Structure 1
Amino acid sequence: MVDMPFALHDVVEMKKSHPCGENKWKIIRMGADIRIKCQGCGHSVMLPRREFRKKMKRVIEHAEQ
């Protein structure tokens, strides 16, 4: 398995910002699909893992272990 740079409850930055203007997202579910929640308005989006990896820019905050 490939080393994942992100984990559950990490805050990540995506390449494109959300229409509300925020660019910080929290990972709230991981599996074959990844659900992320906007830190600005609270809207959640589910993306296939492959698409999420392409659209993610970087990890802003790592979750506490």
Structure 2
Amino acid sequence: MIPLQVGDIVRLRKPHPCGSIDWKVMRTGMDFRIQCLGCQHQAWIPRIKLERNLKEILPRVDEN
């Protein structure tokens, strides 16, 4: 199990239709809510599917 937390930025293998491949983790658990950093679209994705499609975890950006 990959340790992901709310606020982490993840890069997925396949791009979103808007062209972005970077997503922000909004909620964790059995399912994840992720938000596209290109168009702000939010989607629910099961943990196992997210971990399979994960390319890399990017350094966190502080929002302060």
TM-score, scaled to structure 2 = 0.85
User: What's the counterpart of residue 22 of structure 1?
Assistant: 20
User: Are residues 63 and 45 of structure 1, via their aligned partners in 2, closer, same or farther at CA, if it must alter by over 3 Å?
Assistant: same
CA distance in 2, matches of 1:37, 1:3: 18
Unaligned runs of at least 5 residues, structure 2: none
User: Are residues 3 and 13 of structure 1, via their aligned partners in 2, closer, same or farther at CA, if it must alter by over 3 Å?
Assistant: closer
CA RMSD of superposed structures (Å): 1.5
Contact 2:2–2:51 (CA<8 Å) still a contact in 1? Answer: no
CA distance in 2, matches of 1:3, 1:33: 13
Q: How many residue pairs are counted as aligned between the two chains? A: 62
- Measured after TM superposition, the shift of residue 61 of structure 1 is 2.1
- Fraction of identical pairs, as percent: 34
CA distance in 2, matches of 1:55, 1:47: 10
Unaligned runs of at least 5 residues, structure 1: none
- Measured after TM superposition, the shift of residue 3 of structure 1 is 5.6
